[in-house]
Amino acid sequence: MINYYKKQKAEVISTLQRLNQIVSGMQLQGGDRVISVVNAAIERLEQNRFNLAVCGIVKRGKSTFINSLLGEEVLPAGIVPVTSVVTYIRYGEQKAALVRFADSREESITFEEINQYCSERLNPGNEKQVESLTITYPSKYLTDGVVIADTPGVGSIHQNHTEFVYDFLPRADAIIFVLTVDPPIDRSELLFLKDVVAQPRKLMFVQTKVDRWSPEEVEESRAYLYQVLEEQTMLGHPPVYPISARQALEARRTGDSTRLAASGLPAFERALDRFLMNEKGRAALESAISIGLERAEIVRRALKLRMQAITGKENVVVQKSKEQKLRAKIW
């Protein structure tokens, strides 16, 4: 089984390498970006890394949800848009953080300094030119190559946050989509979800902040969400995990197992454990294949445009020669 997986992985890697060779020989507009996304997919497969991205629109509770999984307030969260850059959290015995700047410079920072680089208040409009932030943390979810990615919220007044997310999306191997009870889903959320669904990846849903609502209201909200998903997407009725990340975090911090169970987080964690144990290897291959196919499609479209431009020129040439013929008759 392991040998079979290794063989498949090697085949996917060599096909992706071949795709990159073709693209680099074509000098296409946007070709560099295609190559970089494909290279990143190859690197993840080679290094057994798996990007588990947490996505959603602004202020749905993404960072708080990740903190509840980690059991500590590692990521800054707040009532106003906070997360301003993609923040990767990977396994490390020691808690540490590294900032990567747009000019490829890297700088080690202390845990206490994280806020200064990934929060909108202390890094407004990303004036510090941060490309990404990587935190190392000793969590069981980060073993075996899993990297959790906290993303800025889509749809805030900070356009650069949305751009960061769309730029990052092709690098996600699986996605946890964070929704809330109220509103269950709104228009901008649905549009973003459709963009996420367009890239076939393992997708899990959580509905946070349930502590603010009665069980009946949570149920009503989920029924509405299902209606929207059914009418507007091909997703049908996927499992949606109701969670109070705030309660779960507090319960973890105080070691209160009854409160933790009531927060809804353990039910989600069981599903996540099952996925990581049984499906991650396959999901990694499938996402790499999807990334290859998506990029190949981009190349196909660019080629088509190039061909049309050539054909257009030919038409002009034909027209010119007709004109010339006409002129020749007149003269």
Residues of this chain that interact with ligand GDP (CB under 6 A) are 56, 58-64, 77-79, 82-83, 153, 208-209, 211-212, 244-246
Q: For residue 190, what are the CA distances in angstroms to 79, 174, 179, 193, 198?
A: 22, 18, 10, 5, 12
Strand partners, 206: 178, 241
The residues, any chain, with a CB within 8 Å of residue 55's CB and separated by 6 or more, are 62, 151, 154, 165, 169, 172, 175, 176, 177, 178, 192, 196
Which residue, 56 or 292, is less far from Mg ion as judged by CB? 56
Query: Least distance from C-beta 85 to ligand GDP, angstroms?
Result: 12
Interaction of residue 123 with Mg ion, rule CB under 5 A: no
128, 101 Cβ separation under 8 angstroms: yes
Interaction of residue 263 with Mg ion, rule CB under 5 A: no
The residues, any chain, with a CB within 8 Å of residue 8's CB and separated by 6 or more, are 285
Which residue, 182 or 297, is less far from ligand GDP as judged by CB? 182
Which residue, 57 or 299, is less far from Mg ion as judged by CB? 57
Q: How far is the C-alpha of 299 from the C-alpha of 29, rounded, in Å?
A: 9
Selected from 51, 67, 68, 83, the binder of Mg ion by CB under 5 A is 83
Which residue, 83 or 180, is less far from Mg ion as judged by CB? 83
Structure tokens that stand for 154 in this block: 């889509």
Out of Mg ion, ligand GDP, none, which partner does residue 126 contact, by CB within 5 to 8 A per kind? Answer: none
The residues, any chain, with a CB within 8 Å of residue 269's CB and separated by 6 or more, are 69
Query: Least distance from C-beta 120 to Mg ion, angstroms?
Result: 9
Which residue, 80 or 310, is less far from ligand GDP as judged by CB? 80
Site for Mg ion in 24-63 (CB under 5 A): 62-63
Compute CA 40 distance to the chain's CA centroid, rounded to the nearest angstrom.
Answer: 13
Task: Provide the 8-state DSSP code for 233.
Answer: S
Interaction of residue 84 with Mg ion, rule CB under 5 A: no
Which residue, 20 or 67, is less far from Mg ion as judged by CB? 67
Out of Mg ion, ligand GDP, none, which partner does residue 211 contact, by CB within 5 to 8 A per kind? Answer: ligand GDP
Query: Least distance from C-beta 245 to ligand GDP, angstroms?
Result: 4
Out of ligand GDP, Mg ion, none, which partner does residue 209 contact, by CB within 5 to 8 A per kind? Answer: ligand GDP
Q: For residue 112, what are the CA distances in angstroms to 33, 65, 74, 94, 115?
A: 33, 20, 9, 14, 7
Residue 98 burial (10 A CB sphere; 0-12, 13-18, 19+): middle
Interaction of residue 208 with Mg ion, rule CB under 5 A: no
137, 89 Cβ separation under 8 angstroms: yes
Out of ligand GDP, Mg ion, none, which partner does residue 158 contact, by CB within 5 to 8 A per kind? Answer: none
Query: Least distance from C-beta 83 to Mg ion, angstroms?
Result: 3
Site residues, Mg ion (CB under 5 A): 62-63, 82-83
